């Protein structure tokens, strides 16, 4: 077990782990609830204290799974949740946050994100986030699925500089953010949170990872995850709904990719040579 889990730093100065636990698609089937809760609990036992969820996931069901997993351990956990763009007005953000707090059975969300850009003026959403922060309902706020132009717009707003992260789709087959979004964010000290870092399991079956995986006695999925975490200022939030999957994700922290490994992965999964629109799934 790694003695410490690597961290990166939010603009606020707070350290945040580079490997978290995602919950997308959790809470959708009551028959899987116990396994999902136990997987998150094992992650906490291993020291993976960042848990990412959203009001959208299973219409709040994922937040209820998280509540069960963190019961009695709230002080250990860094909880990330998200508000839908349709709820991103001043009053809507307030209501949505209160509902998430009730489902999570907590008095605060550590990092609250706008799930993707919507029709509500961004300045209004930022004002609502700042009001929640002053009230102690949230500790930090950020965004998700924002491309570089969106981030520029945000940075130009009053209090827009308080954004702490941008959660985006990023993995070996979705390298578009590397062209301009990742460098823009890195220059400003804003970490990216990579969702679907193993492409919802598809990279676990991609033969382009086999040679590197064999050198490390690892699985293809572990190499894909290690590659994301190797990037400076990137946080990976894979979902694992079984305890064995949690252990495999955790073991990826010990994989140290060499220059030769990285070159092989660049050949198999070429980096972008031009701007691509930000992808979402």
- Annotated catalytic residues are 57
* 230: exposed, middle or buried (Cβ count in 10 Å: 0-12, 13-18, 19+): middle
Strand order in the sheet with 78-83: 21-22, 50-52, 78-83, 109-114, 138-144, 166-169, 192-195, 234-236
Q: Which residues contact 157 (CB under 8 A, 6 or more apart)?
A: 122, 123, 126
Cα(70)–Cα(77) distance, rounded to whole angstroms? 7
- Backbone φ, ψ for residue 32 (5° rounding): -100, 0
CB contact at 8 A, 79 and 104: yes
Q: Which of 22, 13, 51, 18 is nearest to 164 (CA)?
A: 13
Cα(174)–Cα(202) distance, rounded to whole angstroms? 12
CB contact at 8 A, 230 and 257: yes
CB contact at 8 A, 65 and 23: yes
Structure tokens at 232: 């400076």
Other Cβ atoms less than 10 A from the Cβ of 187: the count is 9
Length of the chain, please? 281
CB contact at 8 A, 252 and 213: no
């Amino acid at each position: 077990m790694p003695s410490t889990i690597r961290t990166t730093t939010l603009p606020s100065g707070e350290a945040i782990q580079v490997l978290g636990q995602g919950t997308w698609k959790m809470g959708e089937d009551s028959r899987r609830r116990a396994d999902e809760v136990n997987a998150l609990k094992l992650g906490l036992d291993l020291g993976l204290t960042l848990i990412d969820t959203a009001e959208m996931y299973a219409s709040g069901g994922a937040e209820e799974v998280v509540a069960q997993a963190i019961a009695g351990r709230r002080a250990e956990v860094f909880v990330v949740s998200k508000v839908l763009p349709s709820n991103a007005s001043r009053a809507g953000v307030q209501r949505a946050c209160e509902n998430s707090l009730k489902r999570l059975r907590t008095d605060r969300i550590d990092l609250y994100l706008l799930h993707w850009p919507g029709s509500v003026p961004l300045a209004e959403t930022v004002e609502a986030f700042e009001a929640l922060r002053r009230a102690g309902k949230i500790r930090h706020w950020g965004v998700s699925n924002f491309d570089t132009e969106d981030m520029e717009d945000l940075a130009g707003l009053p209090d827009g500089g308080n954004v702490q992260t941008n959660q985006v789709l990023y993995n070996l087959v979705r390298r578009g953010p590397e062209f301009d979004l990742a460098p823009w964010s890195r220059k400003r000290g804003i970490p990216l949170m990579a969702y679907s870092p193993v492409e919802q399991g598809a990279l676990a079956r991609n033969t382009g990872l086999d040679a590197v995986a064999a050198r490390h006695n690892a699985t293809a999925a572990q190499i894909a995850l290690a590659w994301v975490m190797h990037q400076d200022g990137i946080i990976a939030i894979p979902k694992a709904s079984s305890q064995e999957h949690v252990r495999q994700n955790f073991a990826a922290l010990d994989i140290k990719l060499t220059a030769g490994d990285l070159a092989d992965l660049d050949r198999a999964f070429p980096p972008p040579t031009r701007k691509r629109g930000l992808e979402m799934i």
